[in-house]
Every structure is written in structure tokens, then in C-alpha cells.
Amino acid sequence: MRTLRRNQELLWVVDPVGKIPKLDRDGYPTGEFTVEYSTPKQIRLALYPSLGDVVRKMFGEDMDIAYLSLADSEILTKDSLLFYTKPTEKFDTTYDLKVKVIKKSLNHWNYGLEFR
């Protein structure tokens, strides 16, 4: 019931695909990295507030998540960024939700999402 199409919202997602080392003005690596993301694609997810004992038992007492999302298949990765509108640039500073934790249930995947 929770994964019915009518209960799902249309969202945009970008997945981290790699890290690019930052260079100083002389061309040497600084030790910092910039995360590179995939092109945005549309997905449908059921979003629910993360309230209640079931969520605490599933993700733990100290897990600070804003929403719980359910899907029949594993469509997100850890640190995937979600947007309510189509993103254009600077994904890491303009996202709405971020995947914090992923748990496999008996018949579906549970995602713990946090706000920016």
C-alpha cells in the first residue's frame, strides 16, 4: 500500500559518480575534492514523515532524519541528492533532500532522508 503510484511524489535525483581533486593555482593537488554528480533524472518516491517507534527501531535512536521513503527496488545510493524542481547547477548547495541511510526490508528498500 505504501508504494502505490498515487502515493508517490515526482522528484529529481542526482547520484554522486566520483571525486575530482582540487588544484591550487600552480596545478598541484590541495588534498580537497569536489564531488561530481550524474545528470538529473526524474523518479517517483513515496515520502513519509519520520515519526514514530517503527522508524526509530528501523534506523536507530540517534538517527536524525526528516523523511522516510519507500521503494520496491534500490533506485538511490547513499548521498544521492533529491530536488522538488529540476536542478540546473551547483547540486551540492541547492538540493532539498539527501539520502542519509539505506535499509533493506523484507519486500522493499527504506531510505532515511535529511534536509539540506
Summarised one tens digit per residue, pLDDT across range 41-88 is: 999 888 888 776 666 667 776 677 888 888 777 788 888 999 999 998
Q: Count structural domains, the chain.
A: 1
Question: Rounded to whole angstroms, how far apart are CA atoms 80 and 89?
Answer: 15
14 strand-pairing partners: 81
pTM of the predicted structure, to 2 decimals? 0.80
| Range list of H helices, the chain | 53-59, 91-94
**Sequence letter at residue 49:** P
Domain that holds residue 70: 5-115
Question: Dihedral (C-alpha) 81, 93, 18, 104: value to the nearest 10 degrees?
Answer: -20
Q: Which three cell numbers stand for residue 6?
A: 498515487
Mean pLDDT (the chain, rounded): 84
Q: Is the Cα torsion angle 103, 54, 61, 68 positive or negative in sign?
A: positive
**Sequence letter at residue 86:** K
CATH number at residue 21: 2.40.10
Percent of the chain with pLDDT over 90: 27
Candidates 7, 4, 12; CA nearest to 84 is 12
pLDDT for residue 12: 93
